[in-house]
Amino acid sequence: MTNKVAERARALVTKPLGGELDSCMVCGRAMRPMGMARSEGRVCSPACARQWAQGL
């Protein structure tokens, strides 16, 4: 039981915002990095995703 509680507590801790931030490729809004790899094609919201898809 305590292992599950510790896992959940670790999942809720936010990553520090120091270092490079990812940004939305449509509006440029700063976003937290996802995992270890840096992603180039990220969008921050469904509205930005629709706007990007219309431009294809």
- Domain map of the chain by residue range? 19-56
For the segment 8-32, the average pLDDT, to the nearest whole number, is 72
pLDDT at 46 over 80: yes
Please provide the average confidence, as pLDDT, over all residues in the chain: 75
Per DSSP (E only), the strands in the chain are 22-23, 30-31
**pTM over the 0.75 mark:** no
Residue of 47 and 1 predicted with greater confidence: 47
On the question of pLDDT at 17 being above 60, the answer is: no
Q: CB pairs under 8 A, 24+ apart, for 17-24?
A: 24/48
Per-residue pLDDT at 21: 74
Q: Give me the pLDDT at residue 26, please.
A: 93
